[in-house]
Amino acid sequence: MAATALPRRQLANAIRALSMDAVQKAKSGHPGAPMGMADIAEVLWNDWLKHNPGHPQWFDRDRFVLSNGHGSMLIYSLLHLTGYHLSMDELRRFRQLHSMTPGHPEFGYTPGVETTTGPLGQGLANAVGMAIAEKTLAAQFNRPGHEIVDHYTWVFAGDGCLMEGVSHEACSLAGTLGLGKLIVFYDANGISIDGEVEAWFSEDAMARFSAYGWHVQDIDGHDPEAINQAIAAARDETGRPSMIQCRTIIGFGSPNKQGTAATHGAPLGEDEVRAVREGLGWPHAPFVVPEEIAAAWNATETGFMAETAWKEKLVEYEEEYPELALEFVRRMKGELPGDFAGRAGEFIRQRQQDGAHIASRKASQDCIEVFGALLPELIGGSADLTGSNLTLWSGSRSLADADDGNYIYFGVREFGMTAIATGIALHGGFIPYCATFLMFMEYARNAVRMAALMKQRSILVYTHDSIGQGEDGPTHQPIEQLANLRTTPNLSVWRPCDSVEAAAAWQAAIERRDGPTALVFTRQTIPHQERTDEQVESISRGGYVLIDCEGEAEVLVIATGSEVAVSAEAVRELQAEGIAARLISLPSVDVFEQQDAAWRESVLPAHLRKRVAVEAGTVDYWRKFVGLDGCVVGMTTFGESAPGAVLMEHFGFTAERVAAAARSLLN
């Protein structure tokens, strides 16, 4: 129980008061959820949560996720009250420019916020990833008597989270994997923006989660004893994730608005705030927490003691398992093995020597085979397309078969898969990858965006990257998706033209620590390109001259992926005609644009404006490289159903058309 003689309701009221005051001052926000969930939060944070406000990134801390992120003042109040570096002034600056208290919790802005939430359901899906990471890491490193990985993942979620389809995807998988240290509190207040949800959300949520294979409980979310008992029961259930349905009143304490949508997404108003204070017996001024209540909430000492005890366990572990301990510390820090870059470089050079003519999806699998053996932290899988995405390698072990495995059969769950991978990255200790067809990135689009927003190191493997996908037709053939990915901030995109560029792309994705990377591969076989050693080294710059001409170029041809091969044919044809043509391979536009001006100028001289871009995707993206007067050989329509080679010719991705486009510019 809480180490205080103060009534629990009084402690919870500190959350209610701070939340309504901050929303009122900002004239914007969501007071209802924090006021309704305050009693649950008080019990969890004071009695159960393992954390250290003085060191928010302590590795064996519990993870707490506010999936219904619109109720952000709940977590900001908790962080302030328990002693994190989040001052009362920051609470007063709620939702203001550059404050540490943005409208929705944002990873990296506020100490103690584990993931950015707001798009409903995704925080819950991130938490599934965190729980997967904890369970797997524990199986890989814990030894009898030495449990150095031993923490829980706690989630607050609302009606909106459970309505979103991503919650089904992620929670279904969580039940299958038996994530016993994942505990979710469902704030069943029955209210969303449009009012009482029973008119559009009448399902039996507990029956649904029971069907997933979860342990379920239904309690009064304002009864501290019931909350405590439910948490104890959830922790005792080690083989299943737990869902605790908490019957609450949204805006609890607001005499005229509680239980209604009026408290969901708007300030209560000055008169109602005064009425809340009177009804709750909270006579204190706005943003004032009495000293005895602040002292009862403060967790800095207990947090320090908890981390200190863990550090002592880690020292004992290091003494008994020194090599494992070194590996554990390396992975906690997110560092790569010291010899990784050198061995990756050797692999890339070997690929150039091998000269394999293979589909780049197969080249990707070869990369996973090599890098997976070097990196035990590499974990991932496919959304029911393992045999098509080629993500399985000889060292793959399914998490369904072994807790210390490294492969996840995600099932047909593209959205959930991508959000789960982000959660694994957020937890730490792993480099996650996940795979589907490029077209079905659309199902996962918002999770891709959230990974980029949080700058998380996850690797997004997309195969079947164009109309070259073939017979499945336009429903499966991506057109605008590459442009979508490339215009997303913080997301790096690679579309390699052969096995050598594929290896360089995988190395770049693994070494990148400030955001996700999309690796885009072909279904069809593509030819190997000849290169000098210098050109091989240049791939890492994102763009380089693959075929040059004598003297100054008259026309520049820019290509990516499978279209590099036909462009190479066209350039050689032009050169045979006496036209000074240069071919630039541009596997990663964003990496190329980050290079120094001298390199960019050496590849794409600014004064040479006769330019042709070639890619089996939407034409508009390439206008920034070729200008309105340049030529883009690309797609302006959806595809068709036919063999890939037939479609490539039908839509003009041939050497003849590329050469003709170049000639038209010169004429």
Phi-psi sector, 334: left (phi>0), alpha (psi -120 to 50), beta = left
Neighbours of 452 (CB within 10 A): 21
Q: Dump the DSSP string for 270-310.
A: HHHHHHHHHHHT--SPTT---HHHHHHH--HHHHHHHHHHH
Written as six digits, the tokens of 166 are: 């991503």
- In sequence order, the β-bridge partners of residue 556 are 582, 611
Quote the CA–CA distance of 156 and 161 in Å, as a whole number: 10
DSSP state of 416: H
Q: Both tokens of residue 249?
A: 């009143």
Per annotation, catalytic residue among 272, 307, 414, 615: 414
**What element of type H or E holds 572?**
helix 563-576
For 225, residues 6+ apart whose C-beta sits below 8 A from its C-beta are: none
Residue 662, C-beta contacts closer than 8 angstroms, at least 6 positions apart: 555, 557, 570, 574, 579, 581, 610, 612, 631
Active site residue 414: yes
Q: State the amino acid at position 593 in one-letter form.
A: E
Gap between the Cα atoms of 180 and 467, Å rounded: 44
Contact 651, 616 (CB under 8 A): yes
Total Cβ atoms within 10 A of residue 390: 24
State the burial class of residue 577 (Cβ atoms within 10 Å of its Cβ: 0-12, 13-18, 19+): exposed
Instruction: Map 463-506 to HEC letters.
Output: ECCCHHHCCCCCCCCCCCHHHHHHCCCCCEEECCCCHHHHHHHH
**DSSP string for residues in 113-176:** --S---STTHHHHHHHHHHHHHHHHHHHH-BTTB------EEEEEEHHHHHSHHHHHHHHHHHH
| 3-class DSSP string for 509-539 | HHHCCCCCEEEECCCCEECCCCCCHHHHHHH
First-to-last C-alpha distance (Å) of the chain: 84
DSSP-derived pairing of the beta strands 492-494 and 517-520: parallel
Please give the positions annotated as active site.
Answer: 414
